[in-house]
Chain A
Amino acid sequence: MAPQETDREHIQELVTRNPVLLFMKGNRDAPQCGFSATVIRILDTLIPDYATEDVLQDASLRDAIKTFSSWPTIPQLYVNGEFIGGCDIVQELFANGELHKTLGVEATPDAAPEINVTEAATQALKKILEEQAPDGHTVHLQIDARYGHHLHLAPPAAGEIEIAGPGISLFLDALSASRADGIRIDVVQTPEGTGFHIENPKAPRVSPVTSDELKTWLDGDAAFELLDVRTPEERAVSHIEGSILLTSEEAPRVEALPLDTRLVFYCKMGGRSQSAAEHFAQMGFTDVHNLVGGIDAWLETSGS
């Protein structure tokens, strides 16, 4: 049976509107199948922002996309309206560097990045290498497109850059290396335990703001944008006075504001608003904040 014409139009509209769009099971933060998760990992490595459509939320979309693409499986990646492929093909294009080109990603660090590993961190890494790593394994640092930092142990891989420091060598792939200059790796003790702390001067900054702080900002004279990134339905239940719903009509106005405008984002619990805040930080906004705990925390604070 042919897909309903409305489904076809809906999909055409989706792939036209979103430069990079992944039809998947689940979403970026919680993929619901291994193939979708693999493609998410690859996209996260390459680009900070892309759209996803969860076919598990919409049975008619799940069928219609298969006909639309002439492709029987999910996930399916579209770039600039063009079908790229499913999981196998995306992996293949990632491995041979084609996907980098398709997505306009350049991985050409001019020089080896300067990485500063503190004495404590060096000792800790050496200890982990000696005690936990099989022979031939080294320490790898991966930095994804959202400047998430990941350390892991593995044998050196082709194309990696070795940064030899006093006492320890770090291995980075080319993309991570291009995001690594000026990094400082330290060890910190927190109530949750001891762990590595990585400061990256290149990472776009989103600062947390607590409900109490936000209250003083709202009571103060300085103007700022308080942006609600939830759905209209959620907003109808409750919202913070003085906030604006960040709709697709509203977003261009915010994007056009001076880059030093203070932006504060909130959602229900702080997850979606963190993504939105990072998006604006990556656009160059320098005073970007995320409400810790979202409106749930806000209501609790103002209620007590």
Chain B
Amino acid sequence: MALQIINAGGSDSQEIAERMHKAIAGAIPDAQIEVRPTSTGHFEIRVSSNAFSGKTRVAQHQLVYAAITDLMTGNDAPVHAVDRLDCLVPE
């Protein structure tokens, strides 16, 4: 049997991932963005942008989190957790 996760993210998760993608793109225009649902409400994000250049890791993460705060705030927030956030500066 394959290592398949049944609840790895259905259409809802895909829709939320797209909203996150849009929000990050709005805040960091030159960004290359990947948002991947891992389970319901949980996501992994990978963002590459020159905006991260010269910033500390905290400041880089803050840039991304600031963009998606609205999706993560409140008791019925669509995004429960970001399991992993990678911020890269393009070569």
B63: chain A residues at CB < 8 Å are 70
- Report the bound CA distance from A264 to B46 in whole Å: 56
A70-B70 contact, Cβ under 8 Å, with A89-B57, A89-B58:
no
Please indicate the chain B residues that have their CB under 8 angstroms from the CB of A72 in the complex. 65, 68-69, 72-73, 79, 81-82
How many Å from the CB of A213 to the closest CB on chain B?
Answer: 50
| Interface contact tally, CB-CB below 8 A | 33
Chain B residue, CB-CB nearest to A73 = B81
Q: Does A222 contact B (CB under 8 A)?
A: no
Which of the listed residues B57, B65, B68 has the most CB atoms from chain A within 10 Å of its own CB? B65
Pair B62/A66 contact, Cβ less than 8 Å: no
Q: Is the CB of A63 within 8 A of B74?
A: yes
Residue of A nearest to B65 (CB): A70
B22 within 8 A of A: no
Answer yes or no: A67 CB below 8 A from chain B CBs.
yes
A70 and B57 contact, CB distance less than 8 A: no
CB distance from A249 to the nearest CB of B (A): 35
Alpha-carbon distance between A170 and B11 when the two chains are bound, in angstroms? 58
Interface pairs A-B: 7 shortest CB-CB:
A70-B66, A70-B62, A72-B72, A63-B73, A70-B65, A85-B58, A67-B69
Interface residues, chain B, with chain A CB atoms under 8 Å away:
57-58, 61-63, 65-66, 68-70, 72-74, 79, 81-82
